[in-house]
Amino acid sequence: MKQLLTHLHHLVTHEPQNNEQLIGVLRKAASQDVVDPEALRMIEGVLQVAQMKVRDIMIPRSQMITLEYNTTLEQLLPIAAENQHSRYPVIGENRDEIIGILLVKDLLPYLLKTPKKFELAKILRQVIVIPESKRLNVLLNDFRVNHNHMAIIVDEYGSISGLVTIEDVLEQIVGEIEDESDTDDPETQIKKIAEGQFTVKALTSIEAFNAHFSSQFSTDEFDTIGGLIMNRFGHLPKRGETIQIDQYRFKILHADNRRIRLLKITVLEVRGQVLK
């Protein structure tokens, strides 16, 4: 108790002038077991969220899974089963037009033995559109007040640049959120998108990566492919940065201010020891 009072007195008599100083005081308190380390991590997350913008954590348009407005129930169910998301943006005739958000739970009445006539457009929820520059703390409050869980992001020209969910924002505070549909199965962590091109979750183990690609990356220093890539960059890379290691070109598809989340892998041909 005496130690806690000493720290409280320090805070009162030597008020931090900015976030950096405040975090420094809290880290010192954590090192002396006055503040729980997990609580410190969340406090840091809250302070960082107040400084971050939507563009820092958005899922880029290239990784969005969308449905067309005329998708039939028979076409929709396999998509929902494969991707296991709870919400899907629905596009109109113009691919830059999001006409609504489908909640998978709204499909339940159509799965009964005597389903109603299915018209996707009639069960869509309102789409929320926000600019890339919106601050995350403001967005989180909007999600809470308006009971929304997903927003579509547009750039300065009004074109769709990505999407963000309430889970993406909360993960900046509490860390990775996994549910019962998340799995360590390499089949879900590594997905082929074209010949010689794959998306790979950064948390994929190096062992699983090596097994899939017949590569020989060492597991001595790092457990995940994201850890290996960040080490090779020498810094926490931003979305769009690329690096080549052996016959693999890695492009950052999704990263925040804490870690890499999603990578695009291009397997390059090796001809006479020269990568083409």
Higher pLDDT, 246 or 29: 246
Residue 165: CB partners within 8 Å, gap ≥ 6? 59, 87, 149, 150, 151
| Residue 239 to residue 250: CA distance in whole angstroms | 11
pLDDT, mean of residues 96-110 = 89
Question: In the predicted model, what is the mean pLDDT of residues 236-247?
Answer: 89
Residues 6+ apart with CB under 8 A from 159: 96
Q: Give the separation between CA 276 and CA 264, rounded to whole angstroms.
A: 18
Determine the Cα–Cα distance for residues 62 and 43; give it in Å rounded to an integer: 32
Per-residue pLDDT, averaged over 202-224, amounts to 90
Q: Kindly tell me if the per-residue pLDDT of 128 is higher than 90.
A: yes
In this structure, what are the phi and psi dihedrals at residue 124, rounded to the nearest 5 degrees?
-75, 145
pLDDT tens readout for residues 34-87: 777 777 777 777 887 888 889 888 888 877 889 998 888 888 888 888 778 889
Q: Is 53 helix (H, G, I), strand (E, B) or coil?
A: strand
Task: Place 153 in a pLDDT band, splitting at 50, 70 and 90.
Answer: very high
pLDDT digit string (tens) for 8-35? 555 545 666 676 777 777 777 777 777 7
Q: Are 77 and 108 in contact (CB under 8 A)?
A: no
Q: Which of 33-37, 73-77, 149-153, 207-211 has the lowest mean pLDDT?
A: 33-37
Q: Give the model's confidence band at 168: pLDDT under 50 very low, under 70 low, under 90 confident, else very high.
A: confident
Tokens 């097994």 belong to which residue?
211
Whole-number pLDDT of residue 179: 53
Q: What is the DSSP string of 54-83?
A: GGGTPEEGGG---EETT--HHHHHHHHHHH
| Euclidean distance between CA atoms 192 and 197, whole angstroms | 6
pTM beyond 0.95: no
Confidence of residue 267 (pLDDT cuts 50, 70, 90): very high
Highest mean pLDDT among 22-36, 40-54, 215-229, 245-259: 215-229
**Cα 28 to Cα 22, 101, 173, 175, distances in angstroms:** 10, 45, 20, 22
- What's the whole-number mean pLDDT along residues 157-176? 85
**Residues written for the chain:** 276
**No. of H helices and E strands in the chain?**
9, 14
Give the Cα separation of 168 and 256 in Å (integer).
10
Kindly report which listed range (19-33, 136-150, 215-229) carries the lowest average pLDDT score.
19-33
Mean per-residue pLDDT over the chain, rounded: 81
Q: Check whether 142 has a pLDDT greater than 90.
A: yes
pLDDT score, position 49: 81
Helix axes 19-31 and 37-49, enclosed angle (nearest 10):
170
Question: Residue 108: its pLDDT value, please?
Answer: 85
Average pLDDT score over residue span 220-232: 90
